[in-house]
Structures are given as C-alpha cells and as structure tokens.
Amino acid sequence: MRRGKREKQLSCRVGCGKLIRATWHIIEIKLVHYYNTPQMVRAEGLEQIRSYRDQLAPGAPAYLVIFDCRPETRQKSWDERIFWESDGDVTVAGC
C-alpha cells in the first residue's frame, strides 16, 4: 500500500480486531558465483538497495545479505565466513 512521500506504513487488522502498524525494511539478497567477486557483488547490491529504498521508503532500514557460493569459500568454517558490518546507511551481512 503506497501512501505518497510520507513514511510508508502498512496497517492491517489481526486477530481480535487489533490494529498493528508495520514499517518498511528493505532487504536485498545477492549471490557471489565463481565468475564474479565479493567486491563486485557488494557494490552492485549497495547501489540497488539504496535505489529501491529511495523509491519505496526513504529513511527505512536497509539490509544487504550476501551469500558466497564459490567452492573455495564453502571450504572455510562458518566463523571465517559470517560477517555483519555497516556501510554508511546500509547493514551488510553475509556468509
């Protein structure tokens, strides 16, 4: 449901007629394959998610999730693969 330029919120009735309001969270999922690099995928993902957020819900929390599917990365332990960091106004997580 779009409500113009103001903060977008979705209202819905649940259960016993209670009204809950949910705010937008923008999530982009990207995959790293053998033919590209994590840096390329991250740069493309950050550009896309910021564009989506600016169109849908400016100021909404944005999350970029990157899954590295390359064989050499899958050989590493989960502790070596999992990361969670901030890139300006976007939270980037991956494994």
Q: Is residue 5 part of a domain?
A: no
List the one residue out of 23, 33, 36, 44 whose CA is nearest residue 90. 44
Q: Is residue 9 part of a domain?
A: no
Q: Is residue 10 part of a domain?
A: no
Q: How confident is the model at residue 63 (pLDDT cuts 50, 70, 90)?
A: very high
- pLDDT for residue 35 is more than 60: yes
Q: Is residue 18 part of a domain?
A: no
Q: Is residue 43 part of a domain?
A: yes
- The predicted structure's pLDDT at residue 18: 53
User: Number of folded domains in the chain?
Assistant: 1
Q: Is residue 52 part of a domain?
A: yes
Q: Is residue 2 part of a domain?
A: no
What is the C-alpha to C-alpha distance for residues 38 and 67, in angstroms, rounded to an integer?
9
In 3-state terms the chain splits into helix, strand, coil percentages (rounded to 5) of 30, 40, 35
- pLDDT for residue 13 is more than 70: no
Q: φ, ψ for residue 32 (rounded to 5)?
A: -100, 120
pTM of the model: 0.74
Show the domain range for 53.
25-94
Q: How confident is the model at residue 56 (pLDDT cuts 50, 70, 90)?
A: confident
